[in-house]
Amino acid sequence: MATEAIEKVHVLIIGSGPAGYTAAIYAARANMKPVLYQGIQPGGQLTITTEVENYPGYPEGIQGPEMMVHFEKQAARMGADIRYGIATKVDFSKQPFIVWIDEEKIIEADAVIISTGASAKWLGLPSEERLNGYGVSACAVCDGFFFRGKEVAIVGAGDTAAEEAMYLSKLCTTVHMLVRRDKMRASKVMQDRVLNTPNIKVYWNSDTDEILGDKKVEAVRIKNNQTQETQDVPVSAFFVAIGHQPNSDIFKEWITMDETGYIQTIPGTSKTNVEGVFAAGDVQDKNYRQAVTAAGSGCMAALDAERYLSAKGTI
């Protein structure tokens, strides 16, 4: 297919979700005429989340996909140009920046906001996928509240898993924690906290064999990877805490990242090492990963972009 003519824009936002849509709202209101490409998962991780109760302004809670529709409609009403498409390649070596969409369309942008998010790592079980949103979750802080007073399971061995197990222990009667090896990767202080919490039961050398339940999680089948013995533990929820993968691969040649691929921004800003390129949301946040913090960083990115373009005299 022939390459289309180059399109020039002031601000290109790559990725949707709370960060991208909030950046689009602010950029549009500042008359920057932003163009937003929604990426491979329009609306981001919230589109696979059921009930959202911890985002301010929704006293009755709201379904994740519905919330993202609201975000998108608000950005469009402000004048953001929202499009389907995936950024497949970038060239940040000179200005204006060049971004390829779907490997064929070329965009030249005076400023770029990266809000491509991060994807939770999963175990890869069919039952995990089938029950996702029905007791299976990759975010204890998001969904633990729904299972207060219940027994739950969590799989993982790092600091995030330990922190989420501690969080769940304050809400749930028992937290069954599955660790694949005979020790955790978590820091010593986090391990001590987990091991000294009476209602966290750690299963060493244990794999998740199956998540059981028809329409919701009812139990987890745990397999000891030394003895090969299995046991079914009744639980109401199964939390996967084996890490997230930031969606940042196409930017690696140009943008400074940490060892796991999270984009590094100048503290207190959304600025990357490339002047005029900004990052917001989970692609640069390995600590909080909440819709409200992503939205806040999207606001920061739009304001930083506005100041950058104003100083250049572009807008």
Give CA–CA dist 254/248, Å, rounded: 11
Query: End-to-end CA distance of the chain, in Å?
Result: 34
Torsion of CA 299, 300, 302, 304, to 10 degrees: 160
Token reading at 167: 């969080």
Q: Which of 81, 102, 110, 143 is catalytic?
A: 143
Q: Is 139 a catalytic residue?
A: yes
Q: Which of 81, 91, 139, 299 is catalytic?
A: 139
Whether residue 245 contacts residue 118, with contact meaning beta carbons closer than 8 Å, is answered with yes
DSSP for residue 172 = S
H-helix or E-strand containing 89?
strand 87-91
Edge-first strand order for the sheet with 206-212 is 206-212, 219-224, 230-234
Q: Is 299 a catalytic residue?
A: no
Catalytic annotation, residues: 139, 142-143
